[in-house]
Amino acid sequence: MSLLAGEDGLSARVRRSARPAFLALLVATLVTSPLAGVVAAGAATAPSFEESITTVQQGETAEIAINTTGASGEPVQFVVGDADAEDQNFEARATVTDADGDGTVVVRFDTDAVDEGGPESYLTVAGDDTIENRTELAGTDDPLAPTAYDLTLGDPADPTAIGTLALLSADGESPGDGETATPRPEHDGTTIDTTDGEVRVAPEVGQTIAGETTLDAGTPVSVRVVSDSPSSPFLVTAEATVDDDGTFEGTFDFSDMPSGTPIDVSVRTDDRFLTAESGRIVDCEPECPTGTATAGGDDGEAASGTPLSTDEIQVRSPVQVAQGDVARAPVTFGDADALTVTLGDEEAVNYETTAVVRDTNGDGRAVVVVRTDAADDADRPVLAVAEAGETRPANVTSETTLDGALDPFEYDISVSAGTAADGEPDAIGTLVVLADDGGAGGDASTATADDPPADPAGPNGATVAADGGSGSPLTGLAALAVGGLIAFGGVAVFLGFVRN
């Protein structure tokens, strides 16, 4: 989501000024573009945070480093918290100055002293630098609550830099008062998907950031993206819900963000910070992962993410996956402690495998893992099970061995209570294996000659699109044409003004 289209991701005071700032920027760009080189040459570097996310535990002192290169000797307003944000209810401000000229100011924020006195007691700076005008707009008589607090430099309504203080709850293993904590997640079972160790998104609409967690299905989480570039600061947030298989996914619009911008991504619940990863906005092809297929409802629409009921035996359906990838099909146990899961049908599609899945932690849920690339590997079963964030082998009782991966087709997922599939199954779902063109091919070698071809658009007419995919080419051309006309008009107005 962009700074304007994704207003829910910003604090209230930033939203109030976003639209006027954008209009002013648009006018300035159209009128002064011929002078852009001259302006850029003389522009000073704005202060910025050296780390966009600072992590400490309750009772410890956060050391927040500010890069003042190009602004040494000039006062900079520092703000921690947001009095108007319901999840923070705290805000303190101060003016800091790089008095020793080393290009850095380190603000020390003693979280243990917030409820003991005024900002003079918990906001200080290191070394010979100076701090003045310390004020507290919203304080607390209790220990500072663990959550993510906004950090800004400059005018809070139009900041020059944005960061985050992630305050973790104390766990009894704190290094002690006055020390800087080693950053670590509050919930070790939460991870963010990365590519070669970093989060990669494109400067486009519909970009997703996903991950996995051991939190309960249905738990709401926030995925927060903060720019790590002082030249293009932004902060956007997407709300997500943990699905039955333990995954979550936030969708963003980065179309207004420049390629190459470094970012920091964090995940949190309402009351605690979970985990964080670094990344960057890059031009995809081939660096960014493509969009993944998603589960859909019986009417062909995308699944709502509503958790399956543990009161009865159910299986999420349909589940779509690209040929060669791994699919995840959540199941619930009802009153049973074991389920017999059968994928495929030997008579219908010339492939069938059966496994027994057990509810080992008593939560009534598990995820059937389908490795579509393992159908030709006798030592690596196609079916496995994931539970509480861990994947383990399933008790496979039978399996057809093929000459390659599962072919693009629709396969039944039959689920029965107990350790044997006697009689009619208690629940039936569908696994749709997609070909490279996004369709479930009907001429697959596993299908018999009498089988009808599958709908290339997916089951029940559902379609699967890659993240960041574009719509009609005409739309892009029209937008380009309109943009050109606006720019031409702006230049014409500027030249007419000069001539007059």
Closest by CA to 344, choosing from 355, 356, 353, is: 353
- What value does the mean pLDDT take over residues 74-103? 90
Say if residue 480 is exposed, middle or buried (CB neighbours under 10 Å; 0-12, 13-18, 19+).
Answer: exposed
Angle at 119 between CA 118 and CA 123, to 5 degrees: 145
Residues 17 and 141 in one domain: yes
Residues 66 and 22 in one domain: yes
- What value does the mean pLDDT take over residues 32-56? 62
Residues 274 and 327 in one domain: no
What is the domain count for the chain? 2
pLDDT class of 288 with cuts at 50, 70, 90: low
Closest by CA to 106, choosing from 60, 54, 175, is: 54
Most confident of 74-83, 212-221, 302-311: 74-83
pLDDT in tens, 384-409: 988 766 778 889 999 988 888 899 99
**Does 180 reside within a domain?**
yes
Higher pLDDT pick, 252 / 480: 252
- Mean pLDDT rounded to a whole number for the chain: 74
Q: Please, which residues have CB within 8 angstroms of residue 385's CB and are 6 or more apart in sequence?
A: 355, 357, 358, 366, 367, 368, 369, 391, 392, 393, 394
pLDDT at 177: 38
pLDDT at 28: 43
Say if residue 451 is exposed, middle or buried (CB neighbours under 10 Å; 0-12, 13-18, 19+).
Answer: middle
**SS3 assignment, position 36:** helix
The CATH number linked to 179 is 2.60.40.10
Most confident of 1-5, 28-32, 83-87, 128-132: 128-132
Cα–Cα distance measured from residue 187 to residue 349, given in angstroms and rounded to the nearest whole number: 43
Q: Is the pLDDT of residue 299 over 70?
A: no
Longest alpha-carbon distance in the chain:
90
pLDDT at 85: 79
**Does 2 reside within a domain?**
no
pLDDT at 357: 94
pLDDT at 202: 86
Residues 318 and 275 in one domain: no
Residues 25 and 97 in one domain: yes
Tell me the residue range of the domain where 164 lies.
7-281
Residues 361 and 220 in one domain: no
Residue that the structure tokens 């490795």 belong to: 371
Angle at 275 between CA 58 and CA 147, to 5 degrees: 35
**Does 476 reside within a domain?**
no
pLDDT in tens, 168-204: 877 633 333 333 333 334 444 788 988 888 899 988 8
Note whether 413 and 421 are within 8 A (CB).
no
Note whether 242 and 210 are within 8 A (CB).
no
Cα–Cα distance measured from residue 58 to residue 144, given in angstroms and rounded to the nearest whole number: 7
pLDDT at 414: 96
Express as a percent the part of the chain with pLDDT over 90.
28
**Does 301 reside within a domain?**
no
Q: Is the pLDDT of residue 117 over 70?
A: yes
**Does 60 reside within a domain?**
yes
Residues 322 and 277 in one domain: no
Higher pLDDT pick, 136 / 43: 136
Residues 15 and 140 in one domain: yes
pLDDT at 465: 31
**Does 473 reside within a domain?**
no
pLDDT class of 269 with cuts at 50, 70, 90: confident
pLDDT class of 442 with cuts at 50, 70, 90: low
Residue ending a domain, among 281, 302, 334, is 281
pLDDT class of 61 with cuts at 50, 70, 90: very high
Residues 258 and 175 in one domain: yes
pLDDT class of 476 with cuts at 50, 70, 90: very low
Cα–Cα distance measured from residue 488 to residue 500, given in angstroms and rounded to the nearest whole number: 18
Residues 319 and 396 in one domain: yes
Residues 203 and 352 in one domain: no
**Does 338 reside within a domain?**
yes
- What value does the mean pLDDT take over residues 246-259? 87
Most confident of 184-188, 339-343, 435-439: 339-343
pLDDT at 440: 59
**Does 218 reside within a domain?**
yes
166, containing H or E segment: strand 161-168
Cα–Cα distance measured from residue 77 to residue 153, given in angstroms and rounded to the nearest whole number: 6
User: Angle between the 12-32 and 473-499 helix axes, to the nearest 10 degrees?
Assistant: 70
pLDDT class of 331 with cuts at 50, 70, 90: very high
Say if residue 412 is exposed, middle or buried (CB neighbours under 10 Å; 0-12, 13-18, 19+).
Answer: middle
- What value does the mean pLDDT take over residues 108-127? 91
Residues 264 and 318 in one domain: no
pLDDT at 438: 56
Residue ending a domain, among 264, 281, 298, is 281
Higher pLDDT pick, 255 / 410: 410
| 22 token code pair | 């954008």
